Amino acid sequence: TADTYTSYGQGWAHLSNTPFRLYKRWVHEGGIATPLVVSWPNGGLAAGDIVHAPHQLTDVTPTLLAATGVPALTERAGHALPPHPGVSMLDALRGGDAVDHDLFWEHIGNCAMRRGDLKLVREEGQDWELYDLAVDRSEQHDLAAERPEVVAELTAAWQVWADGVGPDL
Neighbours of 15 (CB within 10 A): 11
Print pLDDT tens along the chain (169 aa).
Answer: 666 656 777 777 767 777 777 767 788 888 888 888 998 888 888 888 888 899 999 999 999 999 999 999 999 999 999 888 899 999 999 999 999 999 999 999 999 999 999 999 999 999 999 999 999 999 999 999 999 999 999 999 999 999 988 766 5
Q: Residue 119's closest CA among 135, 131, 127?
A: 131
Rounded to two decimals, the pTM is 0.84
- pLDDT for res 4: 65
- pLDDT for res 11: 74
- pLDDT for res 2: 64
Verify cis geometry, omega within 30 degrees of 0, for the bond prior to 83.
no
- pLDDT for res 9: 73
Q: Under a CB-based contact definition with an 8 Å cutoff, are residues 98 and 89 in contact? A: yes
Q: Under a CB-based contact definition with an 8 Å cutoff, are residues 38 and 45 in contact? A: yes
HEC string of the chain equals CHHHCCCCHHHHHHHHCCCCCCCCCCCCHHHHCCCCCCCCCCCCCCCCCCCCCCCCHHHHHHHHHHHHCCCCCCEECCEECCCCCCCCCHHHHCCCCCCCCCEEEEECCEEEEEECCEEEEECCCCCCEEEECCCCCCCCCCCCCCCHHHHHHHHHHHHHHHHHHCCCC
- pLDDT for res 30: 82
